Amino acid sequence: MTGPFRKIISVLEGKTIAPPPIWLMRQAGRYLPEYRETRAKAGSFLDLCYSPDQAVEVTLQPIRRYGFDAAILFSDILVIPDALQRNVRFVQGEGPQMDPITVSDIERLKGDRVAGHLLPVIETVRRLRQELPEETTLLGFCGAPWTVATYMIAGHGTSDQAPARLFAYRNPAAFEKLLDFLADISAEYLIAQIDAGADAVQIFDSWAGVLGEAEFNAYAVKPVARMIRTVRTARPGAKIIAFAKGAGMNLRTYRQGTGADAIGLDWSVPLSFAVELQKEGPVQGNLDPMRVVAGGRALEEGIDAILQALGNGPLIFNLGHGITPEADPSHVTDLVRRVRGETG
């Protein structure tokens, strides 16, 4: 007996579906009035992430409104350092902050409390799979070791991740240990999400674009490959999307190097290059989020270009990064309808 047909899983298996399935990074978030209402009741942002009732609600909001082909767990990549007791907090107007990690801190890292700390997130996944329509893919996720490490080292976000790059050059052994540690606990986190009902998972490497070729291979490819091997050893059929934002030409070998089923493409990836990448397997992306803010002709032209270039191969339609708070919800309605061919 076969299970429900989920379009995104079919694409991850290498099939071409027309029109392509669609979901959007950060589809649950500040551009939606219903999200802002729930967020106001939650207390802190992390309280929202760790409240299964509220996290389920905000995950389902864009599914109710738009009928996307996938729901992505509402959480944050920084729940991992939070579980490691790095004093993570989200400061209004400044973004995430935490206690910067040192070489001696890395030597003392222990992951024994991580799984227990993240049980509310796993409960959210379990409830979501029960509440979502059967045909809707449930995506779990986590941050890639490099990206999570950049926040842990600097203690906050930076524009070029110079603190993490400098730390890696000065302390290569400690940095490698940190990446391996993050890879291992993140893989176990993904396995727990899959066991709770996630149909597929995405690994976000939001800061891959600041790395040179050698560093990309050492800090982005190697740790993610380690994660995917661990997940696949435990759950051989796991479907995994890897998104290395800003990786550019390094994407040529990213899929093969990591073992991911699909690779996410940011909006700076030329469609001519995306076509070449698609010959090797499924791709996801890559509309500029600013086209969603602009709406109208800019949005339509961006959608049409992607569908024309990539629509004849395995494609999951998405943005090239997360939807922004400035986006008009009606523009997202227009986007979904055009991708699905529901407009004249």
The label of the residue with tokens 């070998």 reads: 253
Q: Which of 151, 189, 219, 254 is catalytic?
A: 151
Tell me whether residue 26 is one of the annotated catalytic residues: yes
Q: Are 282 and 11 in contact (CB under 8 A)?
A: yes
Tell me whether residue 297 is one of the annotated catalytic residues: no
Instruction: Please tell me the distance from the alpha carbon of residue 178 to that of residue 88, in angstroms, as a whole number.
Output: 17
Q: Are 170 and 144 in contact (CB under 8 A)?
A: no
Q: Which of 6, 50, 66, 76 is catalytic?
A: 76
- How many CA atoms, within 13 angstroms, populate the side-chain half-sphere of residue 274? 30
Tell me whether residue 39 is one of the annotated catalytic residues: yes
Establish whether the linkage from the previous residue to 286 is cis, with ω within 30° of 0: yes
Q: Which of 39, 127, 165, 338 is catalytic?
A: 39
Q: Are 313 and 278 in contact (CB under 8 A)?
A: yes
Q: Are 197 and 236 in contact (CB under 8 A)?
A: no
Q: Are 191 and 231 in contact (CB under 8 A)?
A: yes
Instruction: Please tell me the distance from the alpha carbon of residue 327 to that of residue 160, in angstroms, as a whole number.
Output: 26
Tokens of 246: 């800003």
Q: Are 71 and 137 in contact (CB under 8 A)?
A: yes
Tell me whether residue 338 is one of the annotated catalytic residues: no
Instruction: Please tell me the distance from the alpha carbon of residue 229 to that of residue 235, in angstroms, as a whole number.
Output: 10
Instruction: Please tell me the distance from the alpha carbon of residue 171 to that of residue 165, in angstroms, as a whole number.
Output: 10
3-state secondary structure 186-209: HHHHHHHHHHHCCCEEEEEECCHH
Q: Phi/psi class of residue 51: alpha, beta or left (left: φ > 0; alpha: ψ in -120 to 50)?
A: beta
Tell me whether residue 76 is one of the annotated catalytic residues: yes
Using DSSP, state whether 183 is helix, strand or coil.
helix
Instruction: Please tell me the distance from the alpha carbon of residue 312 to that of residue 341, in angstroms, as a whole number.
Output: 15
The DSSP call for residue 4 is -
Q: Are 86 and 14 in contact (CB under 8 A)?
A: no
Active site residues: 26, 30, 39, 76, 151
